[in-house]
Copies of this chain bind each other. A is one copy, B any other.
């Protein structure tokens, strides 16, 4: 079990200072108090008050997304959500959800049975059973990277994809690239369609060539790269945007196999900036989504819905992180 001593050791402060932070004493600074609280959540520390029975319960549903280790996309989303929930005295349950569970029970029934006053849905696809129920749900519900029309109890939380993709394309243009492809993630996902539209809008705005063949659908895994790489290279593509960092790592791997130099012959850009991105060879240029902040915004959006403020969307700005996988276009490109 995690103790006050563990928190003190992690932060390099005294246990009495940790106690002050946890108890809201007035003689420590607000920012230090928040750091103590955030660290308590991160380490899994619980107080008597936290274990009390009268706290409002919300649930994070993880569908088709890994979150068990800091390496994985969902980890920091959950951490940020729990840190914010802690401050507002909510109890958070993490529930890995499957199509079978969704088919077996209606969303609203599930929530009412378990006493959850709100849900945060991460990783859902458009064809998931529960997605069709969100239009009419009476449970406050925040959707990560999905959007439902006209239900004032449902809100969308995510990144401003169009800015992130445009930043990446402007960066590539500055390096002389004109033939830029997008290997996207899975078909039938709201976020996949957003990235596709953002690519179309940005390429159009900058008067760059593209067509259906330069924006194939794939899957959000490394292995998906091999289905596309040969065709794109033969078309004269000099830079590839990828639906996520795993796909980008796959593109780099396929290039290595073929003796294609990154970035000498092909520039590669990922999306997300998972910890892996910085450790690839070459380190990956990518569009960072700050997942801790997305988790925090997810909680505050849900908290607003629970308080009957009809938020429709909360969007965060992503940030282009330039590393070594992008470089000047090769000289023989047209």
Contacts and interface: CB of A to CB of B under 8 A. Distances in A.
Contacts of A319: 152, 310
- Counted per complex, copies of this chain come to 2
A317 B167 contact: no
A290 interface: yes
A284 B262 CA distance: 63
Nearest to A292: B309
A310 B316 CA distance: 5
A195 interface: no
Nearest to A31: B307
A309 B316 contact: yes
Instruction: Name A's interface SS.
Output: mixed
Contacts of A296: 309
Interface in A133-183: 149-150, 152, 160, 163, 167
A142 to B, nearest CB: 13
A293 interface: yes
A290 B210 CA distance: 43
Given A150-B167, A163-B150, A300-B300, A311 B312 contact: no
Interface of A: 149-150, 152, 160, 163, 167, 290, 293, 296-297, 300, 304, 309-317, 319
26 contacts: A149-B163, A150-B163, A150-B167, A152-B317, A152-B319, A160-B312, A160-B313, A163-B312, A290-B310, A293-B309, A293-B310, A297-B304, A297-B309, A297-B311, A300-B300, A309-B316, A310-B316, A310-B317, A310-B319, A311-B314, A311-B315, A311-B316, A312-B315, A313-B314, A314-B314, A314-B315
